[in-house]
């Protein structure tokens, strides 16, 4: 009975202490006009130590890669893929059984969008991401964004 109660107590403490990735990453967003009807969207992630944020191409199976989903907008086209700007770390992690790609400290993700007409609109969507430390991982999180673009 004591073992059962001890197990239950540890389980409850684990659940109570379970944090989400969103508490360990601060996101900021900007939209900058770079040409006629063309905007560069920047998504900056600042990751609290000791955590790291996985890249879009994470490598080994297991960790959740950072991904961007843009809400459909008939006035906007997404031009190419989201680019990553930062110091990518590629490291073999035994827990995932292979080499993984991630960022520590901060990373910037950049997406170019083009307006079909000269109008004001918003580009919105969701960022999905996960962070881990050398000791444990937090559950994946979704963060929504909305950026104003246009004349």
Concatenating the DSSP letter of every residue in the chain gives: -HHHHHHHHHHHHHHHT--BGGGTEEEEEEEEEEETTEEEEEEEEEEPTT-EEEEEEEESSSSPPPEEEEPP-TTEEEEEEEEEES--EEEEETTTTEEEEEESSEEEEEEEEEESSS--EEEEEEEEE-EE-SS-BPBPEEEEEEEEE--
Backbone angles phi, psi at 11, to 5 degrees: -60, -45
pLDDT digit string (tens) for 135-147? Answer: 999 999 999 999 9
Radius of gyration of the chain (CA): 19
Backbone angles phi, psi at 7, to 5 degrees: -60, -45
As a whole number, mean pLDDT of residues 100-104 equals 98
pLDDT at 9 exceeding the cut of 50: no
Please report which confidence band the pLDDT of residue 19 belongs to, taking 50, 70 and 90 as the band edges: low
Q: Name all domains of the chain by residue range, CATH numbers in brackets.
A: 25-149 (2.60.40.1250)
pLDDT digit string (tens) for 69-92? Answer: 999 999 999 999 999 999 999 999
């Amino acid at each position: 009975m004591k073992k059962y109660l001890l197990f239950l107590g540890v389980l409850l403490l684990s659940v109570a202490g379970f944090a989400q990735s969103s508490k360990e990453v601060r996101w900021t967003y900007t939209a900058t006009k770079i040409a006629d009807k063309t905007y560069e969207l920047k998504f900056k992630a600042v990751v609290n130590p000791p955590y790291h944020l996985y890249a879009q191409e994470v490598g080994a199976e297991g960790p959740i890669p950072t991904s961007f989903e843009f809400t459909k907008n008939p006035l906007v086209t997404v031009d190419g893929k989201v680019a990553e700007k930062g110091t990518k770390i590629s490291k073999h992690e035994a827990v995932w059984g292979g080499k993984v790609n991630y960022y520590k400290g901060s990373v910037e993700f950049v997406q170019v969008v083009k307006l079909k007409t000269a109008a004001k609109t918003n580009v919105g969507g969701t960022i999905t991401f996960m962070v881990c430390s050398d000791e444990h991982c937090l559950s994946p999180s979704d963060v929504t964004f909305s950026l104003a673009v246009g004349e």
